[in-house]
Structure 1
Amino acid sequence: MDSTFAYPYHPHSNSCAGQGAPPSLPSFQNFFVRHEGSAMPPEGLAEQQYFDTSSTNIHQRNLLVQQNPIFSPHFNSLDLSSPRAPLTLNNPEEFQERHSPLLSRSPSPVAPLPSSMPVITAQAVDNLAKDFHCTAAQRSVLHTLVRFGSIGEGLSKADLSTRLLTLAVLFDMENQRPKEDENDLQNIRAMYKDLKIQLEQTFSLTSAQMKSVRLIAQEKIYDPLRTCYTGINRDVFDHIRTNAEIMCFSNIFGHPTYESALEKAIKRACSSVRNAFRQHLRDSIEKGTDAAMFTHNMNKIYIRMAGPNYNQRLLLLRNVVLRRFIFDNPNALWAEEDPNQDDSASDNNNTQSSESSTPPPPKKRKTAVGGKISKGKDFWSLVDSWFVSKQDLGKKLTDPAWKELLEQYVQFDEDGFQKRVRLQPSQGAQAAHNAGGLNVQGGSTLGMLM
């Protein structure tokens, strides 16, 4: 007898299992077999649904097979006494050959149900979350990771455990970061504002910025086409503002307090440069230096290597004009301007307006020979006034009237100053200087030599 299946005893048959031919199965093939290797759909299930290979219909088919023993995959479990299955088969070998997939002891070809058993237990996940001080939300994320890692074939236990540990460590690091306290943040912002206000009150330019201001002031005052020397303050400020990024002044512009500090620094630097240039002009005359040598020496001081390329002939003519002005007005040479006059006046006005609405009476400014005098009476203010008085000669130095005057000045300079004038103020000039004014015409040895 075939070991794959056995024919059980049929109560209505005269033969037993293993004796003779098996019982006749007149209706088995028509009822149970659809075609070779396939079964007919059970009652109540459409043929299209039964032979559908999708996972949902496979699961439904498995349930129907389990509920109907007649469709069990093992032939030994068939209930041959059921009136619904009057089996008969005249040729057992043919029956076994045609229906071996159905009657063999091999597993059912239907897809297995997915396993719901996680790779890692929930208790292990909770213990891990507790060890790493995870919050409730973070604990939920860990459980979700385990469920996702168990879908289908799932990750291996080692792989999933490593991922779970990594996530728990990241959660622990996040929890250990200091939390932002809103009160502390507000205090820090208030402290920052206070510090900013204090810095604005004590702001000062750096040494590099002060040096840059002086270099620009020297370039502006040495411009051969300049006729207004008291106005270089505004030119220096505009130049720095235009080139703020290149000259490292970008931290100043946009802050009124910082800009005010820059303006004061420019005023002091420009006043210092004007006084230095005046002294260089005076020394060149006292020492008898000719105009060409004086121009060469001043080029080294007032023109930097990467500075503007001024016309050398124009520089020489301008120096000749200034040296002749000193010769014609020796008393003006000693009128030095006060670099802090504007700053002190503005500071006093601010203090008076903040403390009292009634300003105190102005104090008289005492001056001495060689000291600083009031604005408008200094050397460079007088030079600017002289250029204004010469506007009738033309707007350009190349005009015929200017050309004639400059030729006279050059010839006079080439003859030398040393034997012509002593740059000392007369007694009349000293008295006028002490009185607060200067008589720039006469009052010196020049008046007798001319």
Structure 2
Amino acid sequence: MSHNSSSPTPMSQSTPSSTSAPLGGFNPFSAQPGHFDSAIGSSGSGFDFTDNQSLPAGPDFNFGPVSTQQTPLGPTAEELALQQTRKKLALFVDNLVSWYGLTDENRQELVNFCLLFSIAVDRHTIMLHAVRFAKDFRLERRLDTVEAHMKQIAAGVTDISTQINVNYSLPAQATKNIRGLTMQLIAQPDRVRYMDLADSVLEELQKGNNANKFGLDNVFDTPVRRQTLEAAVRRICSSVRNGFRQDIRDALGLGPKAMGAAKGLVVFAAHMARKYKPDDACNIVLDASSQFTIKLAILRSYGVEKADLLSIAEDEDQQAQAVPRGEKRKANSAGRVKKGSDFWSLTESHLAWLSTMYGEGRFDFMKPTWDKFIKDTVQEDMTRIPSSSNTPSKALSSSPVPLAPSPVTTSPAPPLMPFTNMLESFLN
């Protein structure tokens, strides 16, 4: 500031202004008494030029508190790049969800994966792994769909299997095979029990590989099919018993109409061997001393005694059809008798009685204790129906069942020609 030399100014007027005062406007040169004290406090102590603050560099020094609020800084270049990367990854995830048909849950998992690794892994690597995860999610969804379909298919198969098992019936060939087995078992010389024939058949079917051989490999493991098989076996056994009884009746000349052609013992044995044991017919010895022939002689003898029952079929709950369904049954049965009073039930009792009388409780008629009974039975049969004739003898002429003579007289088969000599040696 310039000063006029001709008009001197008093010191108070030439004192610098407050802007140049070193104490924030306080001028010690113009201070009045007590003015400094009021500025620093009445006690004259505790004056602090800084007030715990750094001194300002400007001329306007202020003892008041300085504001600590700072102007926020903008995002850095790295942060901006990261935000752009995450936006691109989110868009890429949305495209993956659309391409692979993923769920919202799959989308959220992919987004979390991308956000987690976007800080330390480059974008292309993250996208590569995201594609792999998306394919895995799609595969899981497809597997879930396949599993649901498989459950539906399994339920459908179970329903179909149930219907098949309920409506199951034995194949025609299996029925034929079981009938053949039943005929072999009923013609066994040592058989005593005929009403339990079904149990013997079922037991035989389960031996070894017989189930597969008879076409029943898928039957015994299924309860419903097993019940169907057991019912069919009972029907077959009943039919075979009735057929065996009718063969005995017809061989004795007691059959109805022209079916009453009587057969001698050996001729009858040959006929029964061919019919009931076709596989072993050539190996069966058909003379009066063979077990097969002797057993038939015993049955024929008891058949004469129970001639009234030979024409009556047994009464069972599930009687077998002797002829195919739809065909008319021949008139070869004179009604039915209640179970327990039929021919085969009484035959069982008769054979048990013979076992007690001659075999000490065992049906083994080849033992010496049976010799006299067997000789008498065979001789009586030969007398009743001579072996060289199929004509009924006079011994049966008093039977209440009408007898029909056979219009054909045949001689024994060539292998049976030596029978007379063997019979004479056996009886003597």
Considering only CA atoms, is the larger Rg found in Structure 1 or Structure 2? Answer: 2
Question: Relative contact order (alpha carbons < 8 A, sep ≥ 6): 1 or 2 greater?
Answer: 2
TM-score of the superposed pair, with normalisation by structure 1: 0.47
TM-score by length of 2: 0.49
